[in-house]
Amino acid sequence: MQRLAPLMEEPMDQEEQERGGGSIRTKSWKKWIKTQLQSMIIHKKPDAKVLLSVLGCPLFPVPPLSKMSLQQVSSSAQYIIQHFAAATGCKKLERGIKNTFVTGKITMTMMNDLSGSATVNASPVSHKGCFVMWQMLPEKWLIELVGGGHKISAGSDGEIAWRYTPWLGDHAAKGAIRPLRRTLQGLDPLTISSVFSSAQFVGEKEINGKDCFVLKLSTDQTDLTRRSDSTAEMIKHVAFGYFSQKSGLLLCLEDSSLTRIQTPGSLPTYWETSMSSWMEDYRAIEGSEVVIAHSGRTDVLISRFVETLKGGISVTRMEERWTIDDVAFDVPGLSIDCFIPPKEMKMDFHHQDGPNTFPELLDERQKL
């Protein structure tokens, strides 16, 4: 019996295999490395950390009302919300449902663009992922999201909103406790009703061929100040909800924020982040009269410019598509204890004087 030849561990073309020889093996290995390097340069993958930091689990600009009655109508906005509450059946949520469990899938994509240029990445790479979310009342929620090879999580116990990322660990956000923006993307009718009951009616607009009422919400100056620090000043954070005049459903959700960042010895830099979500596939949850959006799309534009505008404006565009797989109410075993943040984080929260927004957003923006 003849001895078997060693198995070659590096890739090799068929022609080179036929020729054989040690020098050919070396050439094949170098050729494969060269091909991989060229592929990495031409098809450079977007930074999944940036996508997850911005799109993973952002907070909504305005907290929900502490107490809300869906029966009270004293403004145009509350009349529109009455129509929305009737269309989604969220009064049932207010009456007796204790908690909510949701699972879904996401696909995130990032394309860089420069102002004045019509070109973007020729073949943007998408990162697919999934998430699971638990909620007990609007101020108590927890989400775990996996995408781009990373897992992040965020939560709120009604006192602290916090987030965990593998690259920064646990960190908390000060300011008023705000709901998870993902729940307002047509997923939680009760929180949508609570938040927009205090909104201002600002007119009408056509969205995707449908006439909508427009409600506006703005973060007050006190909370903007609490969410700022010595290097990052939150200048504004506003949101708009577009409610269908015919169906009463929330069809589009927009919010934009402007932040001024300045480190010692450098010019101030302004970051404007605009998020627009379109909700689709509204239907009732099985065994319930509650109607939610089962899919949708979110577009994000992040613009960066210095105070003098000499360097122009740098624009980064991101996109997320999501679908909801399962929704369940009153899941057994889910209690208030499930939303308790890590003990060390709670101690740090009561002693820190840092920024009142998730800090890695500022770190990841520097990479754009």
Digit-coded pLDDT (tens) for 172-199: 877 778 899 999 999 999 899 989 988 9
Chain-wide mean pLDDT for the chain?
A: 79
Residue 120 has pLDDT above 70, yes or no: no
Digit-coded pLDDT (tens) for 52-91: 989 999 999 988 875 555 556 668 898 999 999 999 998 7
Please tell me which residue, 345 or 24, carries the higher pLDDT value: 345
Q: What is the mean pLDDT of residues 271-291?
A: 93
Digit-coded pLDDT (tens) for 11-54: 444 444 444 544 444 455 445 444 444 443 333 444 788 899 89
CA distance 89 to 35: 57
Q: Are 330 and 134 in contact (CB under 8 A)?
A: no
pLDDT, position 309 = 63
Digit-coded pLDDT (tens) for 315-329: 889 999 999 999 998
pLDDT, position 266 = 81
Q: What is the mean pLDDT of residues 93-119?
A: 77
96-124: buried (b, 16+ CB within 10 Å) or exposed (e) per residue?
eeebbebebebebbbbbeeeeeeeeeeeb
CA distance 185 to 193: 12
CA distance 296 to 239: 18
Percent of the chain with pLDDT over 90: 44
pLDDT, position 311 = 64
Helix axes 76-88, 189-196, angle to 10 degrees: 180
Residue 169 has pLDDT above 90, yes or no: no
pLDDT, position 43 = 39
pLDDT, position 60 = 93
pLDDT, position 188 = 92
Residue 136 has pLDDT above 70, yes or no: yes
Please tell me which residue, 275 or 29, carries the higher pLDDT value: 275
Instruction: Categorize the per-residue pLDDT at 102 as very low, low, confident or very high, splitting at 50, 70 and 90.
Output: very high
Q: What is the mean pLDDT of residues 347-355?
A: 47
Strands (E) across the chain are located at 100-114, 126-135, 140-147, 150-157, 161-165, 169-173, 200-207, 210-218, 232-244, 250-261, 269-284, 291-306, 314-329
pLDDT, position 73 = 66
pLDDT, position 70 = 55
Q: What is the mean pLDDT of residues 289-300?
A: 95
Q: What is the mean pLDDT of residues 137-145?
A: 88
pLDDT, position 21 = 47
Domain ranges in the chain?
Answer: 30-63+71-115+124-342
CA distance 176 to 154: 16
Residue 130's contacts (CB-CB under 8 Å, 6 or more residues apart) are: 103, 104, 105, 106, 145, 146, 147
Among 138, 132, 179, smallest CA distance to 152 is for: 132
Please tell me which residue, 312 or 135, carries the higher pLDDT value: 135
pLDDT, position 94 = 73
CA distance 178 to 358: 12
Please tell me which residue, 174 or 238, carries the higher pLDDT value: 238
DSSP state letter for 56: I
pLDDT, position 231 = 84
Q: Are 357 and 172 in contact (CB under 8 A)?
A: no
CATH of domain 30-63+71-115+124-342: 2.50.20.10
pLDDT, position 13 = 43
- From 105-109, 111-115, 364-368, the region with the lowest mean pLDDT: 364-368
